[in-house]
Chains A and B, each alone.
Chain A
Amino acid sequence: MTRTQSPHTAPRKVHEMSPAESEIFPQDRFAERHIGPDDAQVTEMLERIGYASLDALADAAVPASIRMRRPLDIGPGRSERDALAEIIGLARENQVYRSFLGMGYSDCVTPPVLVRNILENPGWYTQYTPYQPEISQGRLEALLNYQTMIKDLTGLDIANASMLDEGTAAAEAMTLSLDACKHKSARTFFVAADCHPQTIDVVETRAHPLGIEVVVGDPATFEFDEGVFGALIQYPSTDGVVRDYASFCVRAHASGALVTAACDLLALVLLEPPGAFGADIAVGNTQRFGVPLGYGGPHAAYFATREAYKRSLPGRLVGVSIDRRKRPALRLALQTREQHIRREKATSNICTAQVLLAVIAGAYAAYHGPQGLRRIAARVHRSTVVLAEGLRRQGKKVRPGLFFDTLRVDLSASESRKVLAAADRERINLRAYGDGPDGVGVSLDETTTPHEIALILAAFAGSKADVPAVHALAADTRPLDFGSLTRKSAILEHPVFNTHHSESEMMRYLHRLQSRDLSLTTSMIPLGSCTMKLNAAAEMLPITYPGFGGIHPFAPMAQTAGYQKLFRDLERWLAEITGFHAVSLQPNAGSQGEYAGLQVIRAYHQDRGALSRNVCLFPHSAHGTNPASAVMVGMKVVVVECDEAGNIDVADLRAKVAAHATELAALMVTYPSTHGVFEASIKDICKIVHEAGGQVYMDGANMNAQVGLCRPGDFGADVCHLNLHKTFCIPHGGGGPGMGPICVAKHLAPFLPGHAVIETGGSTAIGAISAAPWGSASILPISWMYIRMMGGEGLTRATQVAILNANYVAQRLSEHFPILYSGAHGLVAHECIVDVRPLKAVGVEVDDIAKRLMDYGFHAPTMSFPVVGTLMIEPTESESKEELDRFCDALIAIREEAREIAEGRIDKLDNPLKNAPHTQEMIAIDEWKHPYTREQAAFPAPWTREHKFWPAVARIDNAYGDKNLVCACPPIEAYA
């Protein structure tokens, strides 16, 4: 690396205070805690790579043409204590009413054993997606439990490992139905009018660009024909009615259409499941299985279908395979369905899902077991029967029909207003249908008490005096007889749902699973493009505050002043950081941000009458989600080549732009590039696209290299999404939750997404992208806390140290491996690509290195993206020099092990790399037959003696799992 300046100036401090001032100010400065290397280490590392200061390094790495020349206008950082005090104030400004609004969101009890051991436990929330299955067996098992639970409750054959929300799950069901339908010209999707309104909204948003016509109507009278490829019904309906859809399914199938049932999971404990009445797909929210309302999320949605459609299933799927020792081992199955492999041909763009929340929902089912769930469901139903009887005795018109937990009462407009006002006085939210003339709805839940039933009855009666006692109503009533819709099949018979019912058992089970996962609690997770930085405790504390967790997504805005302030702060800060005009916090993940951003671009072109603009350009090295998203908005995908330096080939870009000049809709580009380089030509690239009438979409996956140094809005992008779970500290949760807000330039602001239930978005908004108006609102406090505690200066320093750390790692490793791609002065941005392909000559594959890293206690970097056979390392600013050195030492040691093979000192097939990872059982075996020692196998580095992380299983056989697909808990004998 080139030395451009002598390293003699002292590094900049986070705050410059006079000595007197600093004596009386709190000593707790968060930025110093968040950023791994201290001042001395920063100096040492800068010296090693040849720069005098962090500023000098940033000036050299970031092209001068885009360098931001002023500090971020975000204010100073706050201490953890001060920021927590401030956010507690915001939480208190939210009014936590009891919400009986239903619509897919019901209050529930998160068992404290799950709060303490999962939700508030970094061992469960700081892991990466389980792409390295040998060190991810804990959450893979938790997800397999979840899949088994969904399969059981829906009565279908196969369930995936979660979707982002019920609305997008329903939209994915629509596109699966379109693919699966035999009539290739069929373009109509029927949606029952009594589906949840936000679901209809999301489905319509998704349908439009694909040329799908959505017909909303009454399932009883809808006539199928060959133009209809699928239908969506809600079971029970949004206003609570339980209907028999068996004959509807027969009619649909007779004309070749698939049926999707959006189902309430708790209702399925008592009711005939969709698989039994003929549905092909079931979707829904699992929130009421122990996950807080959270003002809309995050929650895991489920997706289940028949065996025949398993290859079209969207999202991640956990499957059972075997390891090298033929023991059962879990892994992500059928990955070839997914965008990271199939790109524009993927069934969906979904990447990040809702792992942490799926884990909680599955654990909730395991904790309660089949009897416990039946008890909960029966009690919710029984309470609703009591409420219905009380309302009837008041002479109220409860809509007829079977119900589970939701009632709809027909009232005049003035009566409705009175009831809602009376409920409001008791801090109770009831559902208002329309402006009143359509009456009031009530949806009960696990937490409903007899006292609350009395309060609801009183609100309807207008006075407490006229309300009969709840216990008297209970004595006079019986649960409804669901007749043919009574559930006949057993649920959750697997031992895992019938064992961990005491808190001791559950605590130990969760701890056992956790200990099989390598998370940030063990070591750095250097995944390129994934920014596995610290998720600080102070950032995480607020998510379990009732003021954030206890609020229904459709609670009146007047009750959510604290949330609204938090959203405005976050929008303002993110706009300042990106240089854009407006922000939508709705998209639930990066993939959804891409989708939303492209929809906004599409709406903009259409608004200007440029209907033919439907070509989307990508560099060859784009993330797989990019082309997958473009296809979902009906765009045509055109690839732009990269030059030898890994940058966009500007000449090819010009050619492709010229070839598609009148059709050009957008260029999607990642910055710094997916190769981890600040491309100097980015400004020109944006200009070329703009001159041809196109828009520039910036994938914000690599924003951690930009914050405070340069802004996409300044150098020419029109939209960018931010992965708050990368750059802004929301933990990865082992594969979700995420948040993917989009930031847009002024001309695109009018098109920001709206919502069917809660007013939000631009003046000519596109439809809803997510089921909830602000996506996964309850994790936004994490990013708020991060920005608040770091302040503008702290954020900028974090970026600089992220670049320093990456360049330090690149520098140390460059003596042992080729480092691919660099920008000006030989510098990389915030990540670097290590080329291990030369080792192929001695039979060492990138996989072998990844698995061997596990023996050293590390998670592999990103493998084979963007270049096959290489490793992409993103250390982030949160890792100290010691940790970076440990990681580099591990990789260098592995390089030496490969040299032993090359020099013929150890067998090509029987060596520590090929046999990695080594489990305890492998090491403890009576007869050790390998040509290297047990010590070299399991304790190859000094630190492994102090703290050894043991992979739970040996190397997993990927092909076996895909050939013999099993995606639910196998019978216990399989483990014998």
Chain B
Amino acid sequence: MNHDTASKSGDSRSKAMRPDDRRYTETHEWVKSDGDTVLIGITDFAVKELSNGNEGDLVYCDLPDVGRLLAAGDTFGEIESVKAVADLNSPLAGEVMEINATIEDHLEVLAKDPWEKGWLIRVKPESKSFDKLMDAKAYEKFLAEQKH
């Protein structure tokens, strides 16, 4: 393994805010409007928790079939690192329109860019109002509270 990246891990994480163009869940998914549809992904925090700071340790991601109907909170997939596994939960109800097929074979894309290239599924939501979810500020606050 190349350990060049190891120096970036630890607690020197960038203090920049998470993107405020989207909403967040307590289980560390994000959802972002994209025309008639929404994109769903997971946050940098989720990636870090799973991989224990070692991005190369993400090994597997299982995404749903296109056309699947999801209720809010449904588990739509699973993501694994060498030593941990997490469910992927849908922040809202809707139909799976597309999956990011790159991700299943190239988890490093998700690890490097969870916000844009690392999106997981595109969903046609039943309702476009997901204001009840946390905004970036609330999510930062939530994470800060989690630490204690």
A and B associate: yes
Q: Which A residues are closer than 8 A to B by beta carbons?
A: 311, 324, 335-336, 341-342, 345, 840, 843, 908-909, 914, 957-960, 962-963
Q: Which B residues are closer than 8 A to A by beta carbons?
A: 1, 3, 6-7, 10, 54, 56-60, 62, 80-85
Q: Give the residues in chain B near A963, CB-CB below 8 Å.
A: 59-60
Is the CB–CB distance between B59 and A962 below 8 Å?
yes
Is the CB–CB distance between B82 and A958 below 8 Å?
yes
With A335-B82, A336-B85, A342-B85 known to touch, is A962 a contact of B7 (CB < 8 Å)? no
Is the CB–CB distance between B84 and A336 below 8 Å?
yes
Rounded to whole angstroms, the CA-CA distance of A335 and B82 in the bound complex is 7
Shortest CB-to-CB span from A934 to chain B, Å, is: 21
Report 21 cross-chain contacts, Cβ distance below 8 Å, ordered by A residue: A335-B82, A336-B60, A336-B81, A336-B83, A341-B84, A345-B85, A843-B10, A908-B7, A909-B3, A909-B6, A958-B82, A959-B1, A959-B54, A959-B57, A959-B58, A959-B59, A959-B81, A959-B82, A960-B1, A963-B59, A963-B60
Is the CB–CB distance between B6 and A336 below 8 Å?
no
Shortest CB-to-CB span from B59 to chain A, Å, is: 4
Shortest CB-to-CB span from A964 to chain B, Å, is: 10
> Across the A-B interface, how many residue pairs have beta carbons closer than 8 Å?
44
With A957-B1, A958-B57, A963-B59 known to touch, is A843 a contact of B83 (CB < 8 Å)? no
Rounded to whole angstroms, the CA-CA distance of A490 and B97 in the bound complex is 46
Rounded to whole angstroms, the CA-CA distance of A908 and B7 in the bound complex is 9
Among A341, A345, A914, contact of B3 (Cβ-Cβ < 8 Å):
A914
Rounded to whole angstroms, the CA-CA distance of A324 and B2 in the bound complex is 9
Shortest CB-to-CB span from B5 to chain A, Å, is: 11
Q: Give the residues in chain B near A909, CB-CB below 8 Å.
A: 3, 6-7
Is the CB–CB distance between B83 and A341 below 8 Å?
yes
Shortest CB-to-CB span from A333 to chain B, Å, is: 10
Most A C-beta atoms less than 10 A away, residue of B1, B7, B82: B82
Rounded to whole angstroms, the CA-CA distance of A840 and B52 in the bound complex is 12
Is the CB–CB distance between A336 and B80 below 8 Å?
yes
Shortest CB-to-CB span from B1 to chain A, Å, is: 5
Among B1, B7, B85, contact of A324 (Cβ-Cβ < 8 Å):
B1
Shortest CB-to-CB span from A597 to chain B, Å, is: 27
Q: Give the residues in chain B near A959, CB-CB below 8 Å.
A: 1, 54, 56-59, 81-82
Which chain A residue lies CB-closest to B6?
Answer: A909
Rounded to whole angstroms, the CA-CA distance of A914 and B60 in the bound complex is 26
Which chain B residue lies CB-closest to A908?
Answer: B7
Which chain A residue lies CB-closest to B59?
Answer: A962
Q: Give the residues in chain B near A342, CB-CB below 8 Å.
A: 85
Shortest CB-to-CB span from A282 to chain B, Å, is: 25
Supply 17 further A-B pairs (C-beta < 8 A) apart from A342-B85, A959-B1, A959-B54: A324-B1, A335-B83, A336-B82, A336-B84, A341-B83, A843-B10, A909-B3, A909-B6, A909-B7, A914-B3, A957-B1, A958-B57, A959-B56, A960-B1, A962-B59, A962-B80, A962-B82
Most B C-beta atoms less than 10 A away, residue of A345, A957, A959: A959
Q: Give the residues in chain A near B84, CB-CB below 8 Å.
A: 336, 341
Shortest CB-to-CB span from A162 to chain B, Å, is: 22
Is the CB–CB distance between B3 and A962 below 8 Å?
no
Rounded to whole angstroms, the CA-CA distance of A531 and B119 in the bound complex is 46
Most A C-beta atoms less than 10 A away, residue of B59, B80, B85: B59
Which chain B residue lies CB-closest to A322?
Answer: B1
Shortest CB-to-CB span from A901 to chain B, Å, is: 13
Shortest CB-to-CB span from A866 to chain B, Å, is: 15
Q: Give the residues in chain A near B6, CB-CB below 8 Å.
A: 843, 909
Shortest CB-to-CB span from B90 to chain A, Å, is: 18
Which chain A residue lies CB-closest to B10?
Answer: A843
Which chain B residue lies CB-closest to A910?
Answer: B3
Shortest CB-to-CB span from A514 to chain B, Å, is: 28
Q: Give the residues in chain B near A962, CB-CB below 8 Å.
A: 59-60, 80, 82
Q: Give the residues in chain A near B54, CB-CB below 8 Å.
A: 959
Q: Give the residues in chain B near A324, CB-CB below 8 Å.
A: 1
Which chain A residue lies CB-closest to B60?
Answer: A962
Shortest CB-to-CB span from B92 to chain A, Å, is: 23
Rounded to whole angstroms, the CA-CA distance of A420 and B81 in the bound complex is 59
Top 8 closest A-B pairs, CB basis? A962-B59, A958-B82, A336-B85, A336-B80, A959-B57, A959-B56, A957-B1, A963-B59
Shortest CB-to-CB span from A865 to chain B, Å, is: 11
Rounded to whole angstroms, the CA-CA distance of A345 and B80 in the bound complex is 13
